[in-house]
Chain A
Amino acid sequence: MGVLKRKICLLGTFAVGKTSLVQRFVNDRFSDKYLTTIGISVSKKLMPPVVCGETGDTAQHTFLIWDIAGLEKFDPVVMNYFRGASGALAIADLTRPETVDELAAIGNKFLSVNPKAALVTIGNKIDLMKDRTDTFSDYKRLAADFGSELILTSAKTGDRVEEAFQLLSQNIEMLHG
């Protein structure tokens, strides 16, 4: 079983928690201080093996996780950030509903560059949501538009962060394996 390098992009507008999710997943760290990202920062993480749906074989990925600055424009340089990605986590902030619309625009641009990429939609900062009756319908609708699952995560507590990346690994194997 070889280990395949896979480029993964984190998509979403500023301050939705992209850097915090990478920090939690790769280094098991979290900081409350918000520091805006400039450009791109790539982190590596060896993923646990996943089982291919059709053959039952196992495969393993090394994720090259692209933490991309919150995008406000889509010039050719930005589109270069997306090229060659096998998948993406599309991240919106549960405390700022407007980040859903912004994510829709970014996610569609990403899919226009990588039509066969796997996507997992994330509603981040669930630790700040006290209302357990909230249905997150806008977030679910966007996930459905992307043809992906919606996972509610907290980079602060680590809640469901690993699960989101593992699901992406599984989806990539199903699409590209």
Chain B
Amino acid sequence: MADPLNILLDHKGFGAIYFDGRLRVMETSPAAQQLLSMTPTQSPLALITDIFPELVGIEDDLQQILAKQESVYHLEYVNRSDKQGQTRYLNLLLLACNEKDRALLVLEDATQTALALQAANQQRYDMYLYRTSIDHRRSQIGHSILGRSSAIEQIIQTVQRLSHVPSATVLLMGETGTGKNLTARMIHESSMAADAPFVEINCAALPEQLIEAELFGYEKGAFTHAVSAKPGLLEAAHGGTLFLDEIGELPLNMQAKLLSTIESKTFRRLGSTLQREVDVRIIAATNRDLKTEIAAKTFREDLFYRLNVVSITLPPLRQLGEDIATIGEHFIELLNIQFKKKVKGFSPGARNVLLAHHWPGNVRELSNCIERAMIFIDGDEIDLPDLVLMTPAASAANAGHQPWTVPSTGIELEEVERSLILSALEQADNNKSKAARLLGLTRHTLRYRMEKHGLEPR
């Protein structure tokens, strides 16, 4: 007569594996073979610890079970992945057998229970992480913008204050590449819930006819190709932040509509009469001087004052002194990971050149400069020849200045040099190291040239 235990296990759909005192598998039930996706020929004489590495380390316990000193050993939700990547969860129960020198491992398929438990835990843990992650993000605000100069410290302080006022409108000003986008994201992340939307629109990137539809959305039939209704970016940003980059490029008629939306917190889709409510924080950014634009009547004064509740002016890179090297080292860290290199930093010469360069393209230019160096470098330090910088003339042109030219009446080169040294000293509050950096010289060379022009260092 068949063993009642085997009949019971088979009836319940449980697998059974019998093994001996040398941990060799003696018998495997069809249900066990199915649970483990085994063919019968794989099992004889295999070790139970080969089939279940989960039993490695407890060989003494197994011997005790075989000697019937201990009756059970239980493991729950042992993960097994098949070739298709599907995970099956097994409960394991080790039992002593009536037969001498023989033990039984019972397998139960617990996949359904495990998946239900996983779904419940996932939801619970996600909720917990969602609640706690905002604390971490707030604590990291001061470290998302690199640098320790007073200008950077001031920005960090402002952003930290803004993290407690999630509704205040913010205007970011500064040259291109100074980090306006990064700052906008920091303001958003530090003040909003983790899943609050951050929606960005570049006002210069879309033609005038498209901006209104993109921003406010439209109803079916609002214009020729409006075959179905579409919500705009304003609605997509509901409960979060709408970042309007290059706001100075926004057409005048759109400026009026935006002002109305900010003031009333309502808007209408194109082709709709329905007034919709929206709750968004507006962050606007520009590299233009909006006051000049107001004077030229290309930017509405009332919108300027509505946006300018809190304004942050991001300093150009050339004004950040030692922070330039700190930001550069940060890029090296990131690119070391990307390119699998181990570059430690800059040589003293390269560092001096980085600090003295004008950086018309600001952080974007610095990033590109270092990425290029990292692509070609073989050593562990970026040196002068690795850096490819724009020439002063190209820099000046890029910065919006005219390249240097000699007037037809001629110049006194010595006098120009003297004037530039005086100007640099004045800008640097007579700090010779700073003045030397402004002129792209070493401190020693500056002292020599000052003596040459009778500008005796005091």
Q: Residues of A contacting B117 with CB < 8 Å?
A: 38
Q: Are A77 and B75 in contact (CB under 8 A)?
A: yes
Q: Mark A29-70, 1 if CB is under 8 A from B, else 0.
A: 000001111111110100000000000000000001010011
Q: Are A69 and B77 in contact (CB under 8 A)?
A: yes
CB within 8 Å of B: which A93-126 residues:
95-96, 98
**B27 contacts A by Cβ under 8 Å:** no
Q: Are A41 and B79 in contact (CB under 8 A)?
A: yes
Chain B count of residues within 8 A CB distance of the other chain: 35
Q: How far is the CA of A7 from the CA of B75 in the complex (A)?
A: 15
**A146 contacts B by Cβ under 8 Å:** no
**B323 contacts A by Cβ under 8 Å:** no
Q: How far is the CA of A37 from the CA of B77 in the complex (A)?
A: 10
| Nearest CB of A to B59, in Å | 8
Q: Residues of A contacting B122 with CB < 8 Å?
A: 35-36
Nearest B residue to A96 by beta-carbon distance?
A: B132
Q: Mark B237-263, 1 if CB is under 8 A from A, else 0.
A: 000000000000000000000000000
* In the complex with contacts A34-B129, A128-B136, A130-B144, A40-B78 CB distance below 8 A: yes
The interface-forming segment of B50-58, B203-211, B282-290, B402-410 is B50-58
**B295 contacts A by Cβ under 8 Å:** no
**A14 contacts B by Cβ under 8 Å:** yes
Q: Residues of A contacting B56 with CB < 8 Å?
A: 5, 7, 64, 84
| Nearest CB of B to A77, in Å | 5
Q: Are A36 and B121 in contact (CB under 8 A)?
A: yes
Q: Are A36 and B125 in contact (CB under 8 A)?
A: yes
**A80 contacts B by Cβ under 8 Å:** yes
**B398 contacts A by Cβ under 8 Å:** no
* In the complex with contacts A39-B78, A95-B136, A83-B57 CB distance below 8 A: yes
**A86 contacts B by Cβ under 8 Å:** yes
Q: How far is the CA of A76 from the CA of B117 in the complex (A)?
A: 19
Q: How far is the CA of A86 from the CA of B57 in the complex (A)?
A: 8
**B271 contacts A by Cβ under 8 Å:** no
Q: How far is the CA of A55 from the CA of B79 in the complex (A)?
A: 39
Nearest A residue to B91 by beta-carbon distance?
A: A39
**B99 contacts A by Cβ under 8 Å:** no
Q: Are A39 and B143 in contact (CB under 8 A)?
A: no
**B89 contacts A by Cβ under 8 Å:** yes
* In the complex with contacts A64-B53, A157-B337, A38-B78 CB distance below 8 A: no
Q: Residues of B contacting A98 with CB < 8 Å?
A: 132
| Nearest CB of B to A155, in Å | 13
Q: Are A40 and B136 in contact (CB under 8 A)?
A: no
Q: Are A77 and B76 in contact (CB under 8 A)?
A: yes
Q: Are A38 and B118 in contact (CB under 8 A)?
A: yes
Chain A count of residues within 8 A CB distance of the other chain: 36
| Nearest CB of A to B142, in Å | 7
Q: Residues of A contacting B133 with CB < 8 Å?
A: 95
**A15 contacts B by Cβ under 8 Å:** yes
Q: Which of A6, A80, A95, A96 contacts B75 (CB 8 A)?
A: A80
**A150 contacts B by Cβ under 8 Å:** no
| Nearest CB of A to B87, in Å | 8
* In the complex with contacts A7-B56, A83-B57, A84-B58, A39-B126 CB distance below 8 A: no
Q: How far is the CA of A98 from the CA of B115 in the complex (A)?
A: 27
Q: Are A39 and B77 in contact (CB under 8 A)?
A: yes
Q: Which of A39, A131, A157 has the most CB of B within 10 A?
A: A39
Q: Are B121 and A38 in contact (CB under 8 A)?
A: yes
* In the complex with contacts A77-B74, A80-B75, A39-B114 CB distance below 8 A: yes
Q: How far is the CA of A38 from the CA of B125 in the complex (A)?
A: 13
Q: Which of A7, A64, A84 has the most CB of B within 10 A?
A: A84
| Nearest CB of A to B2, in Å | 31
**A85 contacts B by Cβ under 8 Å:** yes
CB within 8 Å of B: which A139-160 residues:
157
Q: Which of A42, A76, A132 contacts B54 (CB 8 A)?
A: A42
Q: Are B61 and A34 in contact (CB under 8 A)?
A: no
**A25 contacts B by Cβ under 8 Å:** no
| Nearest CB of A to B18, in Å | 21
| Nearest CB of A to B317, in Å | 19
Q: Residues of B contacting A64 with CB < 8 Å?
A: 53, 56-57
Q: Mark B123-146, 1 if CB is under 8 A from A, else 0.
A: 001100100110010011011100
Q: Are B125 and A40 in contact (CB under 8 A)?
A: no
Q: Residues of A contacting B59 with CB < 8 Å?
A: 84
Q: How far is the CA of A132 from the CA of B73 in the complex (A)?
A: 47
Q: How far is the CA of A36 from the CA of B118 in the complex (A)?
A: 7
Q: Are A44 and B89 in contact (CB under 8 A)?
A: no
Q: Residues of A contacting B139 with CB < 8 Å?
A: 131
**9 interchain pairs, CB-CB under 8 A:** A36-B122, A38-B79, A38-B114, A39-B78, A41-B79, A42-B78, A44-B53, A85-B57, A131-B139
Q: Contact residues of A with B, CB < 8 Å?
A: 5-7, 14-15, 34-42, 44, 64, 66, 69-70, 76-77, 80-81, 83-86, 95-96, 98, 128-132, 157
13 extra interchain contacts, Cβ-Cβ under 8 A, other than A83-B57, A95-B136, A131-B142? A5-B53, A5-B57, A34-B126, A35-B118, A39-B75, A39-B89, A40-B77, A77-B75, A84-B59, A96-B136, A129-B140, A130-B144, A131-B143
Of all A-B residue pairs in the complex, the 8 with the closest CB atoms, nearest first, are: A39-B77, A84-B57, A130-B143, A7-B57, A41-B79, A84-B58, A95-B136, A38-B114
